[in-house]
Structure formats: C-alpha cells, structure tokens
Structure 1
Amino acid sequence: MEWQNKNQNRTHSGFNEENEMKWNGPYFFIQAADCQLGLIQRYIEKNSEPGWQKEIVLTKTAVEKINSLQQKPRFFVICGDLCDAFPSEEPALRAEQERDLKRILSNLDPSIPLVCVCGNHDVGNQPSSADLLAYQSAFGDDYFSFWCGGVFHIVVNSQFWHDRSLVKEEAEKQDHWLEEQLKTLNNSGAKFGIIFQHIPWFLNEYDEVDTADAYFSLRPEIRQKWLPKFKDAGVKVVFCGHYHRNAGGFFEELEMVTTSAIGGQLGSDESGMRIVKVFADHVKHEYFPFSQFPEKVLLNM
C-alpha cells in the first residue's frame, strides 16, 4: 500500500467524525512508541557506522503482530521518535530512515488507521520552523484531534513544551488550539478524552522535581499549568513514549502512561506494544513484549 499522510487540517481522515462521536460499546487500540530507526547501532552499540536493521526487524514484528490479531484494533498509534536522525543535522540519513519506516508501516492492515505522533528526534530537540515543515511534509500535522467510538483523542507536539525558543509563534498556535480542543471535549458529550504525545509530563509522581531523568519529562511549571486543565476538561489518560522504559502514575484521577519502545531499550523491558481497552467509564491497558503479544484481545471488564 502506498504511504499516505492522513493527519491533515488538524484531524485524521481515517475516522468519520459524524459516526465516531457516538459511543458504540467497548473497543481497543494499540499504542507504541520509539521505533527510532538507527538508535540501537548509534547509541546503544556505539557503532560509528549508521544502520538500523535491528529496528527494521522489530518494527516489522510490530506490524505483523497487529495484523495477526483476530479482532482488529480501532487504530495503531506510535507516540514519537519514528526515526533517530535529526532532520536538520543529518537530512540524507533521515530520509533513508523515513523511507524504510514508511515501507514497513505501509504493510499495516489498511482497515487499521495509523496515527503518528512527533518526538524530539522527529522535529529536533530545539525545533526550528524548517524542522516542523520537514516533519509535516513527511508525516502530516504535528498536532491534531479525532473522534473514535465516542471518545475524543488529542495528539500534541510535546517538543513545544520542551524548547520553543525558535518556534514561539508555532508553539503559541498549538497552545491556543489545545485550549479550544479542551473546550470541545468538555462541551461535546464525549465519554472522556485521551491525549497522545511523546515526552511524558512526569515519570512516576506528579510532584517530581529535576532528577537524573529530567531529560525524560517536562518541567514542573509546564506540568502544573496544563495537567489541571486536562483533568478539568475530562481527559482520562495521557499516553507517551520517549523513556524507552515503561513508567506511569497519576495526577489525581488523570493517568500518565509511558510506554517502552518498539526499538532500542534503555532499561529492563523488552521491545513491545501496549494494548489499550476503552470502556464507557474507564481505560484498561497492558504492555506486552513481542514474545508475549496475544493473538486475541478480549474486551472484558
């Protein structure tokens, strides 16, 4: 199947809004993160020669596991760091990685919408306007929203909260847009909201302060501004990646879920994906290494 960018005009064409605004019973989706083609050889193995064959195998495995499910998920979302090479620093290498990634992901069952979220390696640690345009050209909008099964889903570019120094205008546009999306969620009759982003707001505790892992979460002052707004609007869960390990916690009843990588691991977890079950008033989820990924998902309580 030929690659198509389906997240355009701040929405995703894989979902019919009129139909999807209604609750039609429990459903499930697959959440993953950090295919990051090129990381293992560059960072973990410290090999000066670029290559990403191991990530190719792992990402192919992800697609094969999803396609083999007896009941198809409503969608497959990858929460950032699709590839490893930074777009502005190594554009030729980045283009090769994107080509291979798209070739693999194009084999996803066409009935399953693919939702791509941008990470720091996709738009840069200090993104520029050119970086954003390069990502948008390759993968579509860097932030957008869509309805699925009576639940409102919001995809955001978390890099704007990490460093917006070169893209203040673009970051402020997302801030304003996000405020409007939260109003939509609050006033639309949605069962609740789910947010997808790359960088976690926190790893385990809402009141975490700067630690050795500070790179892996957003600053407390940003967290304190946005998480109460999410909770008040009806967001139930925020799904993230970036940490290359599993983590999570709660801000009051708002859950933060950090999912380990499809690609290279930085802890004791194995490469895998998360199965997320959505019910009328709650969300259940479990991370499965590829070696334990089920062939059937039961939507029991």
Structure 2
Amino acid sequence: MAGDESVFLRAKDRSFKGLTEDEQKEWSGPFYFIQAADPQLGLMKAWRIGDCDSGGDEWTEEVQLTKQAVQAINKLQPRPRFLVLCGDLVHAMPGCPFREEQVKDLKEALRGSDPDIPLVFVSGNHDLGNTPTPESIEQFCRDWGDDYFSFWVGGVLCLVLNSQFFFDSSGCPELMEAHEVWLESQLQRATQTPSRHVLVFQHIPLFLNKPDEEDDYFNLQKGIRERLIQRFKQAGEKKALELYTSKSQVASVHLML
C-alpha cells in the first residue's frame, strides 16, 4: 500500500531512514521518546474465553485502544523524538488464521500517527513465532522492516534486537549467527563512539525482578541472560547503557549499567 515504506518500512539494511549516524550523531540536548508494547491485536477476546493459543477472531477493542494511544501521543508538546512499539504487534502467530487481517488493521490504526514522530518496531514472539524460521522473519521484514538494526537520535545510539534468537534459534541458526556478529560489532562500536548513552530495545526481558532469578516464561534463560548482561556491562562501562523491553503484563525492565 502507498506510504508503507515511509511509515512502516524505514528500518532497512540494519539502519533506519532519517535516523542515521551521519544525521544524528551530535548531542543536541535532552529529549524524550515514547515506548509502547503489545498492541497484540486478537489477544483480548482470546484471553477472556481462555483460548490464547488461537489467533483471536476479534480485535476491535485493540484497534480502538491503539487509535486512542496515537491520538494522545499526537497531542504531546514538545513532540517525542520517536515512538518505539515493542511486540507482540499482533496475536496470530505466523501462518495462523487472521494474521494478515490483524497486521492490516494495526497498520491502519497507526497511520494516524504524526509523521514527524518516527515509528520504530520491535519484533515479539507472536510476530516471529516462538521458534522463528527464515520464512517468518522474512514476512516480518516485509510487513514492518528489519528485525534488528541500529539508529541514532540526538547523539544517542539505539539498538533494536531480535530477542527470539536468544530464546530459540533452532529454526534459523545461520540468521542467529548473523545477528550475533552484528550485535558484537554494535557493542564494540558503542565503546568507541562519542554517544553519551546507548539504548537497547528487545521483546523478552533479561529478568523481571533480579538478575539471578529462576527461569520463567517471561525472562531469558539464566545462562543466556548472564552472558548478555556481561556484554552490555562491557559496552556501557564508560557511558549510560539502558535496556528497554516489552511485555506489558509485567513491569518493563529498565537496566542502567
């Protein structure tokens, strides 16, 4: 559909159109952004009837709530520098009924966003599948842009990760390896850039309450969690590194290292 590329597909080639290092590498003073999570069109009815494994055949409520959020954000002054929308974007898993309709209706709800507020999308497990495949990742990229990338805003380096690779990459080991190589290069870059802050966005929280907590549905496995924390600490040793995750069912984790 006309306009998709300028609104929904700005994340391309591991960068983000209009928010590149060349355009935004200079610190320009304090700013704020909006983080929203889990519009998950189709979940509310599925949750009420106790059938969350289904794709959910109704999502009028979620569309209305998304439109209300867009209207509220559009009224903010000064404008937020960007809106990051963390998955799950829709409830229907890849290949399930209602998937295409949910994606279409979410895009329609978001089209009312102020064009001066870039929309940044972070993939969730319902967007890629609990065990993502090359096909499910390709479909996400066609709908919403790259599944992982970096961008800059006002002298701040931002990284968007595909956390499903940390959960289960058995269906796409080569893509997971490419993500690892890219992430390592970005963390190395973070130590060398003049950026005062580094922001990391991903779907699955490292932990819910404390780093050494037991494994849970909503956190990453302890071994993976510990390795990521160590890598983030090293990258943020001489600057502020903050981690923002989704899961609106629990408090978002804001990890300042």
Taking structure 1 as the reference length, the TM-score comes to 0.79
Q: Which residue of 36, 41, 44 maps to 1:40?
A: 44
- Spell out the pairing of 1:123-142 with structure 2 (5 A cutoff): 123-142=128-147
- Spell out the pairing of 1:1-301 with structure 2 (5 A cutoff): 2-4=3-5, 5-46=9-50, 50-90=57-97, 93-210=98-215, 214-234=216-236, 236-248=241-253, 250=255, 253-254=256-257
SS at match of 1:216: coil
How many angstroms apart in 2 are the aligned matches of 1:191 and 1:45? 47
Distance 1:190 1:249, change over 3 A: closer
Contact 1:204 1:249 (C-alpha < 8 Å) held by counterparts? no
- Structure 1 residue 236, shift from structure 2 partner: 1.7
How many angstroms apart in 2 are the aligned matches of 1:129 and 1:203? 29
SS at match of 2:242: strand
Contact 2:122 2:203 (C-alpha < 8 Å) held by counterparts? yes
Identity across the alignment (%): 43
Q: Could you list the per-position Cα deviations for residues 139-195 of structure 1 after superposition, in whole angstroms to 9, with x for gaps in the alignment?
A: 110000001111100000000010001111101100110000011111011102110
SS at match of 1:58: helix
Contact 2:208 2:219 (C-alpha < 8 Å) held by counterparts? yes
Distance 1:96 1:169, change over 3 A: same
SS at match of 2:90: coil
SS at match of 1:237: strand
**Which AA in structure 2 matches 1:236?**
L
Contact 2:205 2:252 (C-alpha < 8 Å) held by counterparts? no
Q: Could you say which structure has the higher strand fraction? A: 1
Bigger mean CA deviation after superposition, 45-54 or 63-72: 45-54
Gaps of 5+ in 2: none
How many angstroms apart in 2 are the aligned matches of 1:97 and 1:206? 35
**Which AA in structure 1 matches 2:84?**
V
Contact 1:205 1:249 (C-alpha < 8 Å) held by counterparts? no
Tell me: higher relative CO, structure 1 or 2? Use CA pairs within 8 A at least 6 residues apart. 1
How many angstroms apart in 2 are the aligned matches of 1:129 and 1:198? 19
How many angstroms apart in 1 are the aligned matches of 2:254 and 2:195? 24
Question: Which residue is 1:294 aligned to?
Answer: none
How many angstroms apart in 2 are the aligned matches of 1:69 and 1:2? 24
How many angstroms apart in 2 are the aligned matches of 1:13 and 1:148? 12
How many angstroms apart in 2 are the aligned matches of 1:187 and 1:247? 28
- Structure 1 residue 244, shift from structure 2 partner: 1.7
SS at match of 1:14: coil
- Structure 1 residue 247, shift from structure 2 partner: 4.5
Distance 1:246 1:167, change over 3 A: same
Gaps of 5+ in 1: 255-301
**Which AA in structure 2 matches 1:69?**
L
Distance 1:247 1:18, change over 3 A: closer
SS at match of 1:57: helix
How many angstroms apart in 2 are the aligned matches of 1:3 and 1:249? 31
How many angstroms apart in 2 are the aligned matches of 1:242 and 1:45? 21
- Structure 1 residue 133, shift from structure 2 partner: 0.8
- Structure 1 residue 16, shift from structure 2 partner: 4.1
How many angstroms apart in 2 are the aligned matches of 1:190 and 1:133? 31
Aligned residues: 247
Distance 1:241 1:56, change over 3 A: same
How many angstroms apart in 2 are the aligned matches of 1:21 and 1:60? 32
Say what the alpha-carbon RMSD is for the aligned residues: 1.6
- Structure 1 residue 89, shift from structure 2 partner: 2.9
Distance 1:215 1:171, change over 3 A: same
How many angstroms apart in 2 are the aligned matches of 1:150 and 1:109? 22
Contact 2:70 2:113 (C-alpha < 8 Å) held by counterparts? yes
